[in-house]
Structure 1
Amino acid sequence: MSTAPGRVTPPRRRRPSRLSRVLTLAAGGFLAVVAALVVLTVVSGGGGPTPTAQADVPLVRQDSHYLSDAGSGAPVLVEFLDLECEACAEVYPTVEELRAEYEGRLSVVARYFPLPGHPNSETAAVAVEAAAGQDAFEVMYQRLYETQEDWSHQEASQAKVFRGYAADLGLDLAAYDAAVADPATLQRVGQDLTDGQALGVQGTPTFFLDGQRIEPTSPDHFRELVDQALAATD
């Protein structure tokens, strides 16, 4: 988990291949991998559900981005994430696995929570939101996580790098540039951040399942929590 206050730049290291990361997570090293990336940690319990901070703040808004939509009545997993957060990138393969395993039964929503200690986290969120205007939220979100080591933790703006990804993905660059420059795009990112803060989010990744904050301690525990939510809907 990364946390909002202050900035401490973690030592640069070579990230293992995606396959080896997934195997590490699957072997039960979920928290060990994430904990190795912690700069400051915020913990609020022993892995069980925690009530949301403000019940009147929506966990999912009408314009929230669904990575998976299982329809009305399905459990909803919401992740507040920072695209420059190394812990988020390490958990990303597990989230992708859950999406595949529970396709049609579990909705997954991604919400922005750019942290001030990450110099390009807001720029990355704006790039993904600009891509979302061309129905390319998911592919841009995936591209930024899968290339995170190439652009993260650099003081210089990575906006040109993100524009290059947009070009690689075949987006209309004129429309993309207009969206990046539009203040409404940044405001849309800011709305997620504001909602997260009101809900008590302090670091990333933070997960909510059917309105309750969860703190999975392993991929298997994550699946157990999802299975419990599914059983409650039967």
Structure 2
Amino acid sequence: MNTNAKISGIITILALLVIVIIIAAIALTQNTSNDVQNSDEAFPSAIRKDTHRLTTAENEEVVVVEFLDFECESCGAAHPYVEDLRERYGDRVTFALRYFPLPGHFNSKNAAVAAEAAAQQGELEAMYNRLFSTQLEWGEASESHAPLFRTFAEDLGLDMDQYDEAVADPETLERVESDFNDGRQLGVESTPTFFVNDTKVELRSFEDLEAAIRAELQ
């Protein structure tokens, strides 16, 4: 074999090696990207882009997320306290809610679907307040109170055709269940469960929530 042939063979081998290295690098990059994506899915943030904000601070440096069940008595007890915190800190703190209907509550999922249907018409907060203010009327029941929730929607002046369509739409329930599934992955087991800047608050009393907020504001 002459010198030119040897050089040509070496060049060919080197070219093949470069191609192999490039292919391996691309595969590694894709695997890393998939790992990151899977990690994000396995450990979601307490708040997502589509999470419902009750108040939105300008820079969202402090974010409070409540996983709640509208039928839960403890959530009902927490509601006025949360409203007080929103009034006092709402200009500096984002307050958000996520649905976590507990399986043991017959109407908790119906209530969450009603809230989500109202949210689609920009009336989440009104329905949220109405459900908690009437909790004693329908909580702990063993029959569906979806018709009652529909009257709440009428009282709020919602477009009832749109409301009925939203309630019947499987995507509305899926939206509720996506919050629930995220909560499970975040370790939520009961309601209300609060996160302040993605850190779960160990709630021995409602004052612990304000203390966590103040610590982040300092």
Whether these two folds match at TM > 0.5 is yes
**2:185 corresponds to which residue?**
198
Aligned with 2:133 (options 146, 164, 172):
146
The 5 Å alignment of 1:24-35 reads none
Q: Distance in 1 between matches of 2:42 and 2:53?
A: 21
Q: Which has the higher contact order (CA 8 A, sep 6+)?
A: 1
**2:148 corresponds to which residue?**
161
| Residue 99 of structure 1: how far off its partner (Å) | 0.2
| Residue 61 of structure 1: how far off its partner (Å) | 1.2
Are 1:83 and 2:70 an aligned pair? yes
**1:99 corresponds to which residue?**
86
**1:215 corresponds to which residue?**
202
Q: Distance in 2 between matches of 1:133 and 1:61?
A: 17
Percentage identity across paired residues of the two chains: 48
The 5 Å alignment of 1:41-80 reads 56-80=43-67
Are 1:132 and 2:119 an aligned pair? yes
SS at match of 2:92: coil
Q: Distance in 1 between matches of 2:76 and 2:42?
A: 29
- Paired letter, 2:209: F
TM-score (norm 2): 0.79
Map Cα deviations across residues 89-114 of structure 1 (whole Å, 9 max, x no partner).
00111000000000210101100000
SS at match of 2:53: strand
Map Cα deviations across residues 118-174 of structure 1 (whole Å, 9 max, x no partner).
000000000000000000000001000000000111111101000000000100000
Q: Distance in 1 between matches of 2:44 and 2:127?
A: 27
Q: Sort the Cα spacing of 1:220 and 1:154 in 2 relative to 1 into closer, same or farther, 3 A.
A: closer
- Gaps of at least 5 residues in structure 1 are 1-53
SS at match of 1:110: strand
| Residue 63 of structure 1: how far off its partner (Å) | 1.0
Contact 2:42 2:185 in 1 (8 A): no
Q: Distance in 2 between matches of 1:226 and 1:68?
A: 14
Contact 2:43 2:186 in 1 (8 A): no
Are 1:122 and 2:109 an aligned pair? yes
SS at match of 2:50: coil
Q: Distance in 2 between matches of 1:155 and 1:220?
A: 34
SS at match of 1:87: helix
| Residue 55 of structure 1: how far off its partner (Å) | 7.3
SS at match of 2:116: helix
Q: Distance in 1 between matches of 2:141 and 2:211?
A: 38
Are 1:175 and 2:162 an aligned pair? yes
SS at match of 1:70: coil
Q: Distance in 2 between matches of 1:150 and 1:169?
A: 18
TM-score (norm 1): 0.74
Rg comparison, structure with higher value: 2
- Paired letter, 2:217: L
- Gaps of at least 5 residues in structure 2 are 1-40
**Count of matched residue positions in the alignment of Structure 1 and Structure 2:** 178
Q: Distance in 1 between matches of 2:143 and 2:203?
A: 35
